[in-house]
Chain A
Amino acid sequence: DAKTTQPNSMESNEEEPVHLPCNHSTISGTDYIHWYRQLPSQGPEYVIHGLTSNVNNRMASLAIAEDRKSSTLILHRATLRDAAVYYCILRDDTGNQFYFGTGTSLTVIP
């Protein structure tokens, strides 16, 4: 089973960029890298996903290492509403099982 490793917690100052790292050394060639975040007392919500190339959307950017064994979620300007637990997830070959780790709890300091 493909798994991910993330730091337990990180802090960022408001309006500064945040780089959230994720290691996935056992990733297979067909695994997509997904990121979700979970605000307090809510279900997780989708942030971004990618396979090999870096990806950008309105919420964040995803930088994927050339060997695909690690990735970084980039929030360009952290706001207080970005305080959440961020999960880096690999979607397996069938696309049917998501493996969530324990995630990174992001604290945004005003």
Chain B
Amino acid sequence: NAGVTQTPKFQVLKTGQSMTLQCAQDMNHEYMSWYRQDPGMGLRLIHYSVGAGITDQGEVPNGYNVSRSTTEDFPLRLLSAAPSQTSVYFCASSYSIIRGTGELFFGEGSRLTVL
């Protein structure tokens, strides 16, 4: 069982470039989400999905797009990267969307630097 797999682990972009952070899980989880972690800020939710074809915004969605065409994959797209998007990005999934329960499984993170 691979769990939650994120690629790439490291990426350097120039301002204005686009890229996609990939996230895949092999646990048949319905719920998937993306967080960003900045120094001193903790983790903040960007977007989440409760199933294939369903996505919604989190706390800090601006500048990011997501889609969920399959249960396994939940890519995060930066259409025009900005230095403010320099951060560590974590993908997380959960088997359950039942209220209050269901632990999140996190990937190892993707460190993005925008110059």
Contacts and interface: CB of A to CB of B under 8 A. Distances in A.
Nearest to B99: A95
Given A96-B50, A96-B56, A43 B100 contact: no
B90 interface: yes
B74 interface: no
A49 B103 contact: yes
Contact of B45 (A44, A98, A103): A98
A91 interface: yes
Nearest to B94: A95
Contacts of B29: none
Given A43-B109, A100-B43, A36 B104 contact: yes
A45 B106 contact: yes
Nearest to B109: A43
A54 B115 CA distance: 48
Contacts, number: 67
Interface residues of B, number: 31
B98 interface: yes
A34 to B, nearest CB: 8
Interface string B16-36: 000000000000000101010
B35 A51 contact: no
B12 interface: no
13 contacts: A31-B100, A32-B99, A42-B109, A43-B108, A44-B104, A45-B106, A46-B103, A46-B105, A49-B103, A97-B59, A98-B45, A102-B40, A103-B42
Given A46-B104, A100-B42, A103-B42, 17 more contacts: A31-B100, A32-B99, A32-B101, A43-B106, A43-B107, A44-B104, A49-B103, A95-B96, A95-B97, A95-B98, A96-B31, A96-B50, A96-B56, A96-B97, A98-B33, A100-B43, A101-B42
